[in-house]
Amino acid sequence: MKKVVVVIICIVLIILIGLYCKRVKKTEVNSDIIETEEGMKVTIIGGSNMEDKGNINSAGYIIRSKNNQLIIVDGGRDVDAEIIFDYIIKLGNGTVNHWYITHPHHIGALIKLLDEKEITVENLYYSFNSDEWYKEYDKRGYEVEHSMIEHLNNKKIKNRISCTKDQIIEMDNIECEIIRIANPEVTKSDNGNDSSMVFKMTAKDVNKSMIFLGDAFTYTTKELLENTEKLKADAVQMAHHGQNGVNRAVYEAIDPELCFFNCPKWLYDNNLDDKGYDTGDWQTIEVRSWLEAMGTTNILAYEGDQTIKFTSEGFEKI
């Protein structure tokens, strides 16, 4: 009888072990269960781009790797801090593995979080000109630029990486290539915007990539077009909120399927003071015409937070 019981117990254990092994590996984060999956997930933050939350330009992204490393790009304005904080708690239990800054215009949320919340930024990646440079050549953006430079010494940031051109950064299954860094010799352009760092993140296991242009402008355009083979990507963060940033040749070199617009609806439609479609001085409609000719799908921040899953078979909104 005892032998029969032992045999039955062994059979039950074998069945349970088999069922467990067939399950997708899972990681528990803040009582949520997140599946380990191929590729990467990119969330565009609606935040203050939305009509009922500010109706102003902002830029922030939440990215998750195969094994759920948490990556943030920029983060948005100070009014977006609570939104970003909720993601950090939910997905990282208070820790951001990698935080990238395209340029110190889109980081009000980061500054506020460093001042007011219990978070840890394991790695912060940036490329800044000097404080003196910003003070002389970008007076419009100097206050936030100066504040970010001061916050580099915040103890909540564990590792600070001043990036170099062509640098490769490995993050789980995601590889980030730094394509362009801030250039202090640029002094006669839209200077704060033209100090943008440009980089491409590639989910190596599914061979899908997204390029981040920040607020890249005229001079950045010239630099990028010197090495167009590095620009090819499946998705792009539109430069300067989708208007008056890089030129058409840059987007044609990228040849994206998905275009992420960080802008409110009035800017997307070039609608000045509710006077109607294409009544403003912005160039969004012209840029949109380039993308229409390329057959892209546009992801719009003013419609709220949206997550796109990059897989070997394409893209899926989840």
SS3 223: helix
DSSP 3-state helix, strand, coil percentages of the chain (rounded to 5)? 35, 25, 35
Is there a contact between 294 and 287 (Cβ–Cβ < 8 Å)? Answer: no
User: What gap in Å lies between CA 95 and CA 69, rounded to an integer?
Assistant: 10
For 96-141, write each residue's pLDDT tens digit: 999 999 999 989 999 999 999 999 999 999 999 999 999 999 999 9
Please report whether residue 77 resides in a domain. yes
Please report whether residue 11 resides in a domain. no
Please report whether residue 4 resides in a domain. no
Please report whether residue 155 resides in a domain. yes
CATH assignment of the domain containing 168: 3.60.15.10
Is there a contact between 143 and 117 (Cβ–Cβ < 8 Å)? Answer: no
Given a cut of 70, the residues of the chain with pLDDT beneath it are 1-36
| pLDDT value for 24 | 36
| pLDDT value for 8 | 56
**Domain range spanning residue 259?**
26-317
Please report whether residue 18 resides in a domain. no
User: Of the candidates 297, 214, 236, 263, which has an alpha carbon nearest to the alpha carbon of residue 47?
Assistant: 263
Phi (first) and psi of residue 46, to 5 degrees: -70, -60
| pLDDT value for 159 | 98
| pLDDT value for 190 | 76
| pLDDT value for 22 | 38
Is there a contact between 164 and 176 (Cβ–Cβ < 8 Å)? Answer: no
Please report whether residue 308 resides in a domain. yes
Please report whether residue 7 resides in a domain. no
Number of structural domains (the chain) is 1
Please report whether residue 60 resides in a domain. yes
Amino acid identity, position 124: L
Sign of the Cα torsion 252, 257, 260, 265 reads positive
Ramachandran assignment for 112, one of left (phi > 0), alpha (psi -120 to 50 degrees), beta (any other): alpha
| pLDDT value for 34 | 46
| pLDDT value for 25 | 37
Strands 168-171 vs 174-180: parallel, antiparallel or unpaired: antiparallel
| pLDDT value for 33 | 39
Q: What is the pTM of this model?
A: 0.89
Name the packing angle between helices 108-116 and 142-151 (round to 10°). Answer: 40
Query: Tokens 């599946």 label which residue?
Result: 35
